[in-house]
Structure 1
């Protein structure tokens, strides 16, 4: 009887262990299922937008800068199922204006949450696509924070340093599968409608005329631009840090550290499969545009007044281009500014393009937020070319 009871207890324990194991396995499977569904949702969303050929638009709302309980934010978020995560409302001139985009990040969104949503797009550059992500909005709305983040702060890293990490980590993980990647960096700014090479020591010396060229069925090139091959995220980050230190900035009434130029960070990514000799060539453009601002608010004088005028002029050219594209005009004025001519393949070519529209929730900025949101709505309606993957086969005897 004792022996019989012993074996019964042993069997009971085994049965319980099996139940616990099944529950644990079920929990893991459910977690994996949820993760796979989320990844599938993103891929399907990417595919749908690629087939539509539209420029995707994400909106990010900056929280109130001052902890002032008397201020009521000018922005709010609809709670309907259809608009949740995609809608933003703006209180302006006594009216409530509603907008819908591909994604809306509230003022509570973290840098990591935002990068998760663009991770698949960044991955596309490794897969051989041309990708462009740029930030637009008024001065002080958080564009540079979104793109660059805060230096030496892991939690607040922006999209550019996070994209660098993703590219190098993913490239390294593909080595065992036969893929070898070559990555090159170039960084420029457009200041007063002139191109400056931020990786060149003589960037301020006159004489160099940087010419923008669009190669048919190829990539955009800028003559005499410094292009550096990098072999690690540390090397690329060092160049990025050097370039940001050289970028034109200034202090205005609207922003203590205002970017006075359009900042363009470009990765040229070439991958070769050692066995099949298949080659993919991708481009990743990450762009922090200068902020539009009103002279009456910024109180700019002298050189800064000229900078503000040039910034607003180039952004007006961008608006004119978007308007022409959305209306399907026969002529699109890309050549009216260096910025629009440089962005031509991203706005009307075969690139995967995403715009962040950054707005402030401060009621004193409601007018600027309204202008930015109206512009973003037009951008979202623009039809562009369907993205094309750039691939070719190398000769079998290639190294």
Structure 2
């Protein structure tokens, strides 16, 4: 019997972006407690002369490499191959390093969680072939932009595409599996397949310039890998899901300088992130009603937040004094997420004896 799990939270502090940032008092707003029980888990923030202390499952300081980060969560990624639903998402203000954490940059050392996770999954699935396992995998990628779902792999898709067209609807079945109607799903057989899909999706994704960030993600990006495994020698079957999500950045309108279309985007982003907060509060308080349906984002994430998924949230924060207020909001939100108790993570498996009677996967 697996214990009910809390949503795990990792915090990552990005480096100063230029030498000028780190002159003078800028250094002092974030520090890390050295006490044994909090080493690697605690973070202190100085805001308006007050010290605020937080602790999470893991804290990465500004010197942590992409490899350091991935090593800590590779076991979780492995769970998707074992038949679990896994959800990993990045949260934080605009410009705090979410997309770098999730996607990374070109270059072997710079790869983020998404490409590293896929490399690991393909590598491990190939090594399990000798034990009789065969896997097939399907990828899909979408963004939620101004409360509209956009299929990033749809043929002929480009970011200039006008809204309208297909209406995608989110459905959850009785086993907690999520489908989005009419969404393009593509069979993938190698890391190279997924890399080319990620490139296609990144060209389609809505980005825009704000005062906070030259290339700011204006949408929530959701990558889903469905994994179906069967073992010929034992007759066992597993069905896992890996959801990797790069949320749009939270930002204050006064700081981002958004106007016109950018203003509308920012309002939609902030509304969906506040719906996410409402859901987290309701789960943390054990409320009878959790308002998952208040936004497309929370409805899509419902199985990750309220079901039987293994869920990890990255909170990304900036080290600059000018961001202290936003950083405090992000760290407080992350603490509430960390306190949320969600369902028992269950494996979706089926053994040979039950497969003779029925082809439906059951939870073990």
TM-score bracket for the superposition, by shorter chain length:
over 0.9
Report the equivalent of 1:133: 88
Does residue 1:190 correspond to 2:148, yes or no? no
Report the equivalent of 1:25: none
Point out where structure 2 has 5 or more consecutive residues left out of the alignment.
359-364
Per-residue deviation, 1:93: 1.5
Report the equivalent of 2:167: 209
Q: Give a deviation string over 1:211-265, Cα, whole Å, max 9, x none.
A: 1011011410100000000111101111011101110001110001100000000
Pick one of 216, 227, 234 that aligns with 2:185.
227
C-alpha separation in 2, matches of 1:310 and 1:357: 20
Per-residue deviation, 1:110: 0.3
Q: Give a deviation string over 1:21-70, Cα, whole Å, max 9, x none.
A: xxxxxxxxxxxxxxxxxxxxxxxxxx9xx624110000000121221222
C-alpha separation in 1, matches of 2:259 and 2:42: 38
Pick one of 261, 264, 269 that aligns with 2:222.
264
Pick one of 153, 161, 166 that aligns with 1:199.
153
C-alpha separation in 2, matches of 1:124 and 1:244: 27
What do you get for the CA RMSD once the two structures are aligned? 1.5
Contact kept? 2:66, 2:111, Cα under 8 Å:
yes
Per-residue deviation, 1:278: 0.6
Pick one of 117, 121, 125 that aligns with 2:72.
117
Does residue 1:51 correspond to 2:3, yes or no? yes
Does residue 1:377 correspond to 2:332, yes or no? no
SS in 2 for 1:139: coil
Inter-CA distance 73–238: structure 2 relative to 1 (3 Å threshold): farther
Following TM superposition, the consecutive aligned residue runs of length 4 or more in structure 1 with deviations greater than 4 angstroms are 394-398
Paired residues, what number?
349
Report the equivalent of 1:348: 306
Does residue 1:158 correspond to 2:112, yes or no? yes
Per-residue deviation, 1:142: 0.2
Q: TM-score with structure 2 length normalisation?
A: 0.93
Pick one of 26, 39, 60 that aligns with 1:105.
60
Which has the larger Rg?
1
C-alpha separation in 2, matches of 1:354 and 1:363: 27
Report the equivalent of 2:98: 143
